[in-house]
Structure 1
Amino acid sequence: MSDRHAALHTAEIDAPAETVYEIIADVTRWPQFFAPNVHVEHLGKGEGTEHIHIWATANGSVKNWTSRRELDRARLTVTFRQEISTPPVASMGGTWVVLAEGDARCRLELRHDFTVVGDDPDGVTWVNSALDRNSAAELAGIKRVAEDCASLDEVMFEFADTVHIAEDGTRVFDFLNRADLWPERLPHVARLDFTEAEPGVQIMAMDTKAADGSVHTTESVRVVFGTERIVYKQTTVPALLTAHTGCWTIAPKGDGVDVTSQHTVIIRPEAVEKVLGAGKTVADARAYVQHALSTNSRATLGHAKDFAEVSRG
């Protein structure tokens, strides 16, 4: 029988326990709130239960697993157990526990238990290192969001750009999926390093030229779903942001497809004046970011349209 190991990570948070619980309960926003989380896909939901697929970075690599979670709002706990783990993890589970310490303060505990493949000591070291790094990042993310939740609606927003392409979508998907060819296909991409660690999981580092001539370096992880959807998380973001996630979708429409580029971003308020100049506000930053991202998205969509329609012609 494999040895079972345990880990405990905690944080003191100046926010109501219910606020912290709600952040933990809503996994759809984890990619924006938690640095290691790339994407969360719901596989099923029931009364107080959910089945999810998670992609996240761990010790520099991208891992994915499926878990079942049990949510107990009365006790402010969320229990989780991985169904399919990724080596060196053989099994893993745990519990989020929120302990109220007054009306506006609480203690958050993140408890893990795990086994490793073959009881390998190096595997135990690897898992403990990953848990220390990811748990610290997740607790810090929860603390930041919970303590600043009053301003969240101001700094977090989403937007999308859509173009119709008179094609069946196959060549459009090829254009979006083959990001390794973007420096040849897209004028605003100055450099791109691309690896596909496993089918459908892409890692890329990219230098992008903005309309004002500035160059921004980003690093991203992308997860490909069939030929209809590519989701991504920027793991290295520009100074003005704390988070940027997005999604490319291809949907049948009329004589072709509607192709949409959707973005969700969180502004870093303390960086606004440093980046944009004295007197600039979060509202200015929102407008600047949306313009920059939409300009590049529309350019990519335009080139994808030309590629698909001209190739067909």
Structure 2
Amino acid sequence: MSSRVHACEHTVGVAAPAGVVYGMLADAVRWPVFLPSVVHVERLDFDGVQERLRMWELADDTAAAADAADDDTAAAAADAADDDTDAAADGADGAGAGAGGGVGGVLGGRVGSWHARRVLHPDVRAVVFEQEDAVWPGSVTSGVWSVRPAGEAECVLGLRQECGLPVAAADGARREAEAEADVHRRLAQVRRAAGWWERLDELLLSFEDRVRIEGPAELVYDFLYRIGEWPGRVPHVERAGVREDVPGIQVVSLDSCAAPGGRTVSTRAVRLCFPHAGRIVYKETRTSELIAAHSGEWSLLPDAFGVTVVAAHQVMLRQEAVGRVLGAGTGLLEARDHVRAWLSRASTETLGLAKWHAESTVRRLR
């Protein structure tokens, strides 16, 4: 079927310096924390100016998918409806095209993955992108982000996207409207993230926990991969719903009591599993009240005598929830310590049980 190129371009004012906004666009590896719809970004090649990326992004009903794996479908349906107003629904914005490249393929209708090439132009604050693997009409094929100063602490953010549409498509007007809406959604996501620029150093935290295991990496990975079995293995996990329509892409809903005071916290996440690399990357699509964004990775570093397992976290705090959750007068520094201790306690407990699982299995086989 013949196709035509449809181009759409829009701009939006942003309450942040142009350099801050450009830096956010250029640093695609950190997009999972800044942009709700982005699950994970792998930088495959970079020479300082040109880069090749592989990106994963949320699509349509990802936020509700894990609940479909549970038996309590009535409660799940209500939660899914509520998510239209929270960060989980925000994460589904723009599933029809790529933030800097477009969706090359939607896996299981929930997570899109594609490759993109980008050229960074810091002198004019522009990022030019081109998608390598468009697979259907309507996919974004190329475009450019641009940032223009509009004062010391303001700028104008622009996005132009080009996509291929069938020439004789009966729903051509609808497709064009969706393409226009996608540009607006992406601009809104960046504008919202950039609006926090004055407090980003306080709102963002990255940390990791690690444990040394004298056992095979395969057993450790298997424990971490089988998250659906954690309620019977990991004390702080009360319930886990897992859906894996496509091998290696898990949509998970989790109830855990690792938070201080033992209260139950419900989260949802997308997990990308790479068994040959010994990695499981995840992005929460529904976070706890104190957390605006949370992504992380379980990674295995094997050697001749065992394996070191690392649990890495990247978190953005939700500033407006700090006083409500931790009490009036609580500062961001205290909130950072609180969240780090809570997440670290949960990951350390999980790592310890993975260690016990691998090492005790080896002892039984000796």
What residue number does 2:88 align with? none
Please state whether the residue corresponding to 2:3 is helix, strand or coil. Answer: coil
% identity of equivalent residues:
38
Q: Of residues 224, 241, 244 in structure 2, which corresponds to 1:193?
A: 241
What residue number does 2:122 align with? 73
Matched, 1:83 2:84: no
Please state whether the residue corresponding to 1:59 is helix, strand or coil. Answer: coil
Shift of 1:127: 8.4
What residue number does 1:251 align with? 301
Instruction: Decide whether the 8 Å contact of 1:90 with 1:117 is kept in 2.
Output: no
Shift of 1:131: 6.9
What residue number does 2:231 align with? 183
**TM-aligned CA distance change 1:180 to 1:118, over 3 Å:** farther
Please state whether the residue corresponding to 2:348 is helix, strand or coil. Answer: helix
What residue number does 1:289 align with? 339
**What TM-score comes out, normalization by structure 2 length?**
0.79
1:2-41 Cα distance to aligned partner (Å, 9 max, x none): 1222333432112222221111111111110000001000
**TM-aligned CA distance change 1:68 to 1:258, over 3 Å:** same
Q: What does 1:57-136 align with in structure 2 at a 5 Å threshold?
A: 57-60=58-61, 61-87=110-136, 89-90=138-139, 92-116=141-165, 125=174, 129=178, 132=181, 135-136=183-184
What residue number does 2:285 align with? 235
The letter for the 2-side match of 1:169 is A
**TM-aligned CA distance change 1:88 to 1:203, over 3 Å:** farther
**TM-aligned CA distance change 1:84 to 1:123, over 3 Å:** farther
Shift of 1:119: 6.7
What residue number does 2:86 align with? none
1:212-264 Cα distance to aligned partner (Å, 9 max, x none): 21111111111122241111111111111111111101102462111111111
What residue number does 2:256 align with? 208
Q: Quick check: which one's strand share is greater?
A: 1
Stretch moving more, 230-239 or 108-117:
108-117
Gapped regions of structure 1 (runs ≥ 5): none
The letter for the 1-side match of 2:142 is G
> CA separation in 2, counterparts of 1:299 and 1:234?
19
Instruction: Decide whether the 8 Å contact of 1:250 with 1:258 is kept in 2.
Output: yes
> CA separation in 2, counterparts of 1:192 and 1:118?
46
> CA separation in 1, counterparts of 2:343 and 2:175?
37
> CA separation in 2, counterparts of 1:247 and 1:223?
9
Note the aligned Cα RMSD (angstroms).
2.3
Instruction: Decide whether the 8 Å contact of 2:293 with 2:317 is kept in 1.
Output: yes
> CA separation in 2, counterparts of 1:298 and 1:119?
57
Q: Of residues 183, 186, 191 in structure 2, which corresponds to 1:143?
A: 191
**What TM-score comes out, normalization by structure 1 length?**
0.92
**TM-aligned CA distance change 1:87 to 1:296, over 3 Å:** farther
**TM-aligned CA distance change 1:172 to 1:103, over 3 Å:** same
1:28-82 Cα distance to aligned partner (Å, 9 max, x none): 1111000000100011112421100000012232101000011111222111111
> CA separation in 2, counterparts of 1:52 and 1:41?
6
Please state whether the residue corresponding to 1:54 is helix, strand or coil. Answer: strand
Shift of 1:106: 1.4
